[in-house]
Amino acid sequence: MKLKLLALMAALLPVAAMAEDKLDTGDTAWMMISTALVLLMTPAGLALFYAGMSRTKNALNTYAMVMGAFVLAFVVWVVAGYSMAFGTSEAAGIQKFIGGFGNVFLNGIDWKDLSGTYPTFVFIAFQGTFAAITVAIASGSVIGRMKFSTWLVIVALWGLVVYAPITHMVWGGDGALLFDAGALDFAGGTVVHMNGGLAGLVLAILVGKRTGYPKIAMKPFSIIFTAAGAALLWFGWYGFNAGSAFGANAIAGVALLTTTIATAAAGLTWLIIEWIVYKKPTLLGIASGIVAGLVAITPAAGFVSVGGAFIVGIGGSLIGFFGVVKLKKMFGYDDSLDAFGIHFLAGLWGALMTGVLALNDKDLLWDGPLKESGDRMGQFMVQVESVAIVGIWTLIGTVVVYYVASALTGGARVDAETEEMGLDEAIHGERGMNL
């Protein structure tokens, strides 16, 4: 199956007023299903995964932060985020960083317009679920001590200041900074996981540690909930990765298989490491390994072989384990639910390994050094450039957004009494479970 750059761009970018006979019902059906699968990942999968790891008194607040992030981020995406990510700008130099503002409130996009072989409206919804889960990932780092009002302001601003420009730079088509450089990111290793994971760490450092951390034991609410969340994430991830082939095609099949291999290998790897190190195989460890594998394979899913999927998955689990168990203790930061340890580090590993392990197959690759001249070292350096630029943009943008949100809400951190009582009752007037 041939997938030339022109065909790829036809799938990625809106193509207005295309003839009705170009619409492919199979591709349309798959993209609508993929959108629903990715949607499931946030208010069900990620919310359960995070809530189960939270303290009992903060479990409902954790779920609310994830679900609240999803609904608000999607609205922000429709209002302006989509335009900034995938619109076009006439201003010289601006196109490298943002798409423009011509499609604010989806202005200028007709319901008949197509993105390649399926409706542009479906593409907008599909990409909106990516925007929503990315900021929701960051919530895991600040659980138990951030005001809900501050969090919602952060969600709204961050989607425009950080997420939309990064999405444009990586996936925005001709003229976009990292797209033109030839960066490979099949489904969001840099755009979603590095971005959300690093934002989480920045917010955690700025808002400060939980009271008593790390001296007081902070036992999770329900590991069963966390495992169920991981299972839902895995299920939904097929929309995330295989959906990023933008059609019911052979490359979607590649992404589906490599995703399954990497995830299974990563879950098994984490289990074995824990069994060796701690003499006990834990359910939380299996669930954590599964998510690390899903994250790691995301940028590489449509580019690597079966062997490459094993390497990406196992390596993602190893580096995720190191981040959660060792790195956090070494530097003393309080990343409540390890968004940085799993999402950023495994995403970084996957993004770099994409340059090393991507098949030199012109029918799979996007334009870049590897496809154009077989220059693997050149491709690896492009991947390094990509993760560096994304990291710098996320770092600076998140700091700015935090301080603006904090100023607007009278400080980002809850008071000591609220933190002691628990955010479920103090903020929401509810309990996660009445026993």
* pLDDT single digits (tens) 79-104: 999 999 998 866 657 889 999 999 99
**Is 435 within a domain?**
no
Q: Is residue 373 part of a domain?
A: yes
Which pair of structure tokens corresponds to residue 277?
């190190």
Report d(CA 361, CA 79) in Å as an integer: 38
Predicted pLDDT at 15: 38
Amino acid at 347: G
Which residues form the domain of 381? 5-428
Question: Which amino acid is residue 30, in one-letter code?
Answer: W
Sign of CA dihedral 356, 362, 364, 369: positive
- Residue 294 lies inside a defined structural domain of this protein: yes
Residue 153 DSSP code: H
For the stretch 388-417, pLDDT in tens is 999 999 999 999 999 999 999 999 999 999
State the pLDDT at residue 55.
96
C-alpha span between 336 and 377 (Å, rounded):
37
Domain presence at residue 47: yes
- Check: CB of residue 57 under 8 Å from CB of residue 422: yes
Overall number of domains in the chain: 1
Residue 130 one-letter amino acid: F
- Identify the residue with better confidence: 116 or 9: 116
The SS3 of residue 15 is strand
Q: Is the pLDDT score of 10 beyond 90?
A: no
Residue 7, pLDDT score: 40
- Ranges 32-46, 89-103, 128-142: which has the least confidence: 89-103
Q: What is residue 91's predicted lDDT score, i.e. its pLDDT?
A: 62
pLDDT, averaged across the chain: 93
Residue 162 to residues 45, 156, 263, 296, Cα–Cα distance (Å): 24, 10, 28, 21
**Is it the case that residue 14 has pLDDT exceeding 60?**
no
- pLDDT tens-digit readout, 168-189: 999 999 999 999 999 999 999 9
Give the C-alpha distances (Å, rounded to integers) separating 50 from 60, 89, 122, 144, 196: 10, 38, 28, 12, 14
Provide the H-helix boundaries in 182-327: 195-207, 223-241, 250-278, 283-297, 306-322
Instruction: Return the structure tokens found at 265.
Output: 């290998």
Structural domain includes residue 138? yes
Instruction: Count Cα atoms within 13 angstroms, Cβ side, for 188.
Output: 32
pTM, two decimal places? 0.93
Residues in contact with 276: Cβ distance below 8 Å, sequence separation at least 6, in sequence order: none
On the question of pLDDT at 43 being above 70, the answer is: yes
Mean pLDDT for the stretch of residues 331-341: 96
Token pair, residue 322, equals 């190191």
Q: What is the pLDDT of residue 3?
A: 36
**In this structure, is residue 433 part of a structural domain?**
no
48 pLDDT above the threshold of 50: yes
**Length of the chain in residues, anyone?**
435
Looking at residue 21, what is its pLDDT?
Answer: 54
Average the pLDDT over 189-215 and give the result.
97
Q: What's the pLDDT at 19? A: 39
Average pLDDT estimate for 335-339: 96
Residue 5 pLDDT exceeds 80:
no
Is residue 434 one of the residues assigned to a domain?
no
Domain with residue 112: its CATH number is 1.10.3430.10
Q: How far apart are CA 3 and CA 150, in angstroms?
A: 44
